[in-house]
Amino acid sequence: MFIHSWRWFGPNDPINLKQIVQTGASHVVSALHQIPVGEVWPAQEIIDRKKTIEQSGLHWSVVESVPVHEDIKKRSGDYKKFTEAYKQTLQNLGKEGVRTVCYNFMPALDWSRTNLTLKHADGSTSSGFNYLHFAALDLFLLKRPDADLSYTEEICKEAENLFAGLSSEKRKELEETFLLGFPGSGEAFSLKEVLQRIEGYKDLRKSDYLSNLLQFIKEITPVAESAGISLAIHPDDPPWPLLGLPRAVSTLQDAEEIIQAVPSPANGLTFCTGSFGAAHSNDLPLMAEKLAHRINFLHIRNVKRDAQFNFQEEDLTKGDIDIAGILKTMIKEDLRRAETQKGYSGLPVRPDHGARILGDFNENYYPGYTLYGRMKNLAEIRGMELGIRAGLSE
């Protein structure tokens, strides 16, 4: 079976470990969000977090994430110092038996959405991205220099008309959604700070940015491998350029370049069906087939998307992504590894974002990281997995 896991943000998470035990998860995906980006994660703090998790009967299987400092992404400033700190963190995690490290290389900001409370027919809510709303935000709230060069003349005009019709409350809601920080960190930004972050990338082309990523991977992979850690880079969310910033983990070609850069199983991917799946041009079943041998971590959620760069998160069985087909591919890969890799213990998988349902409406959860919504998704993932495995064994 897969390693069924659950993302837990630590002691400040409104969902506690006792509740996670009852969801059916056996492992926890966690991180030391209290450590400033770029600093070494102290061995003792890793030990303390592991002990806390294990006292509940769970296991700490995956770190999500060890953040990558902006200087590393731009290969400027103190990037060498921060790279060495990253290596030491990997070594400290490996000594404590944490075997998978998820990370991302998204510039300036993390995930982007324009609405966090899209309502479904059954009354549940989830997040979504509207390209026109994002353009309006970029052009008229953020007021990024030369933002109009990122859009067609028609989109600029439509965004202007849209923005003119928004109430002050709707403008504020759009701004707050955009400025939401990294999950678990409590970090948030002002529009001015976002512009400052973007400014640091103005002369960086995609080819340069990809080169910076590959250099980083080449430096950390040998350390991860010697520490017994499987790296798993997370795709861009959404997987296309935003705000004039470069992207490096958005397509099948991107993923193949990354895994070919260092031919080691330690240099792998987080296959997030929601992030890769947001792009209409990404064929998720094909990507799973081609990348399976280097997928080290699975994020499972579904989306409905279109060719105009709009998407919304959807029930696991109702979206545009063939979740069952992807799970079948990865189950076959899991079985292959079990037969060929000594000591292999299973592929970690977690339900990614969950809709807000039932008692979730009474709690102040970080968007997407609900209790009941994710528990529903985990149950559906486990059910599909059991059914697929039974069919393969017949």
pLDDT tens figures, 196-248: 999 999 889 999 999 999 999 999 999 999 999 999 999 999 999 999 999 99
Q: So what's the pLDDT on residue 392?
A: 93
d(CA 238, CA 259): 20
Per-residue pLDDT for 53 more than 90? yes
Residue type present at position 46: I
Catalytic residues: 234, 272, 299, 352-353, 369
Cβ proximity of 15 and 29 under 8 Å: no
pLDDT tens figures, 177-195: 998 855 555 566 789 988 9
Q: So what's the pLDDT on residue 218?
A: 98
Residue type present at position 291: L
Nearest CA among 361, 358, 359, 355 for reference residue 374: 355
d(CA 293, CA 339): 14
Cβ proximity of 227 and 95 under 8 Å: yes
- Residue 204: phi, psi to the nearest 5? -100, 115
Give the list of residues 6+ apart from residue 188 with CB closer than 8 angstroms, or none. Answer: 179, 180, 181
d(CA 276, CA 155): 24
Nearest CA among 289, 293, 248 for reference residue 267: 293
Q: Name the 3-class secondary structure at 89.
A: helix
pTM above 0.85, yes or no: yes
Nearest CA among 10, 3, 15 for reference residue 62: 3
Q: So what's the pLDDT on residue 81?
A: 98
Beta bridge pairs of residue 305: 311
pLDDT tens figures, 335-363: 999 999 988 999 999 999 999 999 999 99
